[in-house]
Amino acid sequence: MADQVPLIRTLTAGLPTSSSYKAVNAHDRNFTRGKLEQRLQEIDHCIERYLSAMATADRQPAEIAEARTTRLKQKMATLQARLDKLKHIQVQLEREPAGQISLTDPDARAMATSTSRGLVGYNVQTAVDTQHHLIVAHEVTNQGSDRRQLAKMAKDARQATHLQAIADRGYFHGEEVWACAEAGMVSLVSKQMTSAAKAEGAFRQSRLYI
């Protein structure tokens, strides 16, 4: 349909960009194998601590010991219910190829971001032409980084435009640039020059477009 619209058919450039959207899914309801294992270990340690407390409760006066034992049993019952729930999640997690599961929004995934905690949500990719600022392609992903998105977005956008892809340094990856070249597309991507010698003052940061 895009080829039937003269305005879109004459576009000459695409500009991929990304936006992160938080899902309706709290961090505590997103599980990876590592996070789940840590939760299971924490509950096991708590149960061991309560068992030890119950073993020494009989050293207290009878009334105090009975009240303390009752409270500890209630806490252990709560932990046991939580442990059973986590083991059920563990079974579900083993069937997930991505190695993580979100309970509220099943499609959401934990993504690495500039913050240490990351974000449970989506990375929405859009390609916009530089002349008329129209969205010519879009894609919803669960990848926190844009480094593997350039070639795919450029190919999708090429269906609507005669494409020259322009992107910021977040999209730079040698294989992606090469994939664009093999597909006959020109990509202008800022490459951040870095070096281990920067800390010693022997390297100055600069930009290079390739």
The tens digit of pLDDT for each residue in 41-69 reads: 999 999 999 888 888 877 777 777 788 88
How confident is the model at residue 124, as a pLDDT? 92
How confident is the model at residue 188, as a pLDDT? 79
Complete DSSP assignment for 135-204: EEEEEEE--S-STTTHHHHHHHHHTTS--EEEE-GGG--HHHHHHHHHTT-EEEEEEE---GGGGGT---
CA angle 28, 31, 37 (to 5 degrees): 105
What percent of the chain has a predicted confidence (pLDDT) above 90?
Answer: 31
Rounded CA separation 191/171 (Å)? 9
Fill in the amino acid letter for 37: E
- DSSP state letter for 105: S
What percent of the chain has a predicted confidence (pLDDT) above 70?
Answer: 80
3-state secondary structure of 111: strand
85 burial class (0-12, 13-18, 19+ CB within 10 angstroms)? exposed
62-94 and 33-55 helices, crossing angle to 10°: 160
pLDDT tens digits, residue range 87-104?
999 999 999 988 899 999
Q: pLDDT tier at 86 (50, 70, 90 boundaries)?
A: very high
pLDDT tens digits, residue range 15-41?
667 888 889 999 999 999 999 999 999
Rounded CA separation 168/15 (Å)? 9
- DSSP state letter for 64: H
Residue 157 or residue 81, greater confidence: 81
Whether residue 192 contacts residue 210, with contact meaning beta carbons closer than 8 Å, is answered with no
How confident is the model at residue 161, as a pLDDT? 61
Rounded CA separation 151/158 (Å)? 10
Rounded CA separation 46/69 (Å)? 15
How confident is the model at residue 69, as a pLDDT? 86
Fill in the amino acid letter for 57: A
Cα-based distances in Å from 16 to 59, 74, 147, 153, 207 = 70, 55, 11, 7, 19
Q: What is the residue whose two structure tokens read 């119950």?
A: 54
Q: What is the residue whose two structure tokens read 């997690």?
A: 93
How confident is the model at residue 116, as a pLDDT? 67
